[in-house]
């Protein structure tokens, strides 16, 4: 059975402030009440006990209550300052993450460089008889993270996952705002699908519990699915057009 009401994360700061003031008021009330109860015993003419308590004890108790109140006020001010500094640090961290994501997205080559690299790698693969795979990654930010800095941050995190899991000979491109292409030289269809599976797991982990985005990965392989570089390019163009 729930005795006290449930505290929401949205109101935790307000409730913490209310509880702090409540604790301070209770200390003042209890200290004042105790002092009022002790006053007749200490200063009254008819003492209840044979030996009257020392007045130093009374003054010491009052001083202790005052020091306790001052201590609570000081701690409340310290906690308030710490909360303010934490909020400021979080804002600075968010700005740094947003800036790094924007810089990473800015370093990725676009569609024209993708065309040149795809043509060159396809010509090499056709000459030596090796496979060539292309991964087309569609990142779909959720409605909450679809606009503004949060969208840039989500796409930047997705790009970090894609780049971190690539080989040295692989290349990553940003065909449009939410579509990435990965060229995998010498990778057959089965190996490309395994790579796509690992990328999907990494993207899901980076998306977090809030599901900032979802990702769809399409595998295009030569010679299993296409016979020319233009066919691969059309697959990529089709995905960018459906964005």
Structure tokens at 57: 């004890």
SS3 146: coil
Domain ranges of the chain: 9-104, 109-241
Kindly report, residue by residue over 74-90, the tens digit of the pLDDT.
777 777 777 777 788 88
Asked whether the predicted pLDDT for residue 4 surpasses 60, the reply is no
Size of the chain in residues: 243
Q: Lowest mean pLDDT: which of 43-52, 58-67, 77-86, 224-233? A: 43-52
Band (193; pLDDT cuts 50, 70, 90)? very high
Structure tokens at 185: 């030289």
Which positions ≥6 away from 174 have C-beta within 8 Å?
A: 105, 108, 109, 110, 159, 180, 181
Q: Lowest mean pLDDT: which of 30-34, 114-118, 130-134, 235-239? A: 30-34
Looking at 3.30.379.10, 3.40.190.10, 3.40.50.1980, 3.30.70.270, the CATH number of the domain 109-241 comes to 3.30.70.270
Give me the mean pLDDT over the 218-239 stretch: 90
Give me the mean pLDDT over the 54-77 stretch: 76
């Amino acid at each position: 059975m729930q005795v006290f009401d449930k505290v929401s994360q949205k109101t935790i700061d307000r409730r913490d402030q209310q509880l702090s003031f409540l604790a301070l008021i209770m200390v003042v009330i209890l200290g004042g009440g105790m002092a009022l109860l002790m006053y007749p015993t200490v200063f009254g003419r008819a003492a209840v006990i044979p030996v009257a308590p020392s007045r130093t004890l009374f003054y010491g108790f009052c001083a202790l209550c005052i020091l306790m109140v001052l201590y609570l006020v000081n701690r409340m001010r310290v906690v308030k300052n710490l909360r303010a500094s934490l909020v400021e640090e979080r804002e600075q961290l968010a700005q740094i993450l947003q800036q790094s994501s924007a810089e990473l997205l800015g370093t990725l080559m676009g569609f024209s460089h993708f065309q040149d690299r795809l043509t060159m790698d396809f010509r090499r693969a056709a000459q030596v008889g090796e496979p060539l795979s292309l991964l087309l990654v569609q990142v779909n930010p959720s409605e909450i993270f679809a606009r503004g800095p949060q969208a840039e941050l989500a796409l930047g995190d997705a790009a970090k996952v894609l780049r971190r899991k690539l080989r040295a000979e692989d290349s990553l491109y940003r065909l449009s705002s939410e579509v990435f292409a990965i060229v995998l030289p010498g990778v057959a269809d089965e190996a490309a699908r395994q790579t796509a599976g690992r990328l999907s797991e990494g993207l899901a982990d980076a998306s977090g519990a809030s599901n900032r985005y979802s990702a769809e990965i399409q595998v295009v392989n030569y010679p299993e699915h296409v016979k020319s570089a233009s066919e691969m390019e059309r697959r990529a163009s089709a995905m960018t057009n459906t964005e």
